Structure 1
């Protein structure tokens, strides 16, 4: 089986857009490309945009206003600032004490909403999973289109928040929105006609691919692209002579992600009905 032919424009030309809000909608490929495409894929909303839509302040807003005498913070505010800290310092640097300081409250106040760091991490994963579920795919779209959209949104989430990728390994299987996302994937696989053992294998394969690729590509953030450049140059400089910059590596990562996911869909014979 050969990888699908990708357009000269790279991964951003596919129906897995990692483009800023307001980008032009993508047109469908011709039949010769072998991929069913979304006819109108609207710009994606990131976790950051979701916070703004609901009026949840960011870390700077809370910090600048929190040194007064109002220690009460909502759960949404705590999650918002925690995400800001992870983006700035990384997941390992996140502590309840440091989070309390950023909020302008004692660290014990954070325990009002979360019993420990693990529970807080699960809340961050839940926020990302909920964003992935907010699809703009038209009602009536086929299972391949919907699965492609879910994979695209997962990738977009980690592109916007690369330092959140390791959180996938620390969260349990009891995060409501993550469970809902898994059920959505299973539903589309069933719509594609899969059942029994083949259904289970297809689900695990697609889930593992999306998560593993995200962790592999973003796990070293914010230096993940520089790390990949160095690694490829140490393997074979001549072969990778066209991807010696971080921008080129990022484009290659996205192209490989799309190509791999399409191959998996082909392998399990998943098509739009």
Structure 2
């Protein structure tokens, strides 16, 4: 079944317009999902909103959003008031500026979407914009309403189409200092740093998403299969706790293991040219 577009509108660059569609690029729909059951009856159970004071169920038509001003003093927001306050979607991806593909910190990247021309007639204009951006290694920064929220969107060429990535707002990204302030400032040099660099060189490789398996999902799938077949599944073997050793000794052992494991060092090789960020999905 062909994927369903989550958004359709116009991609606008200056006076050039192109009808486009956005498709979800990453999905969790293939993961195993469960229902909550009543252990005694085997029937499904459903969530229900109840009044925290009376304990009685609250029907859907009586449920409204409220903003807590403090101490349980709520401002009630009616659905009609929220609908009027939310900006209408003009269905236009209006490019405000172009910037280098690596300009935006990855911390601001949110959800990726594939961008395609939405009609056969739009293919020429779409291809023109995509190829011009690719030649300049440029990304477009645009804004539009998606799922009733105004979002900033980064658009980059990707293979035959483009990828649009919604961006976090500045207030959503926490400052690094809040996490890093307690890290002590150390100056590491000499043999320790050289050994660490050597280990990195001997384990150099390329990113291949197919090489990474979802062990949690695989374990759940095997458990479900075993239950269906009436088999008893053996508990996964727990790794033995690592022995605490001196950091320098650990580096030396790691470097030695890399030399004897058949992994070829890339120390003398010319570094591979990095893939342009626009090709990253």
TM-score, normalised with respect to structure 1? 0.20
TM-score, normalised with respect to structure 2? 0.20
Structure number with higher strand proportion: 2
Higher relative contact order (CA 8 A, sep 6+): 1
Structure number with higher helix proportion: 1
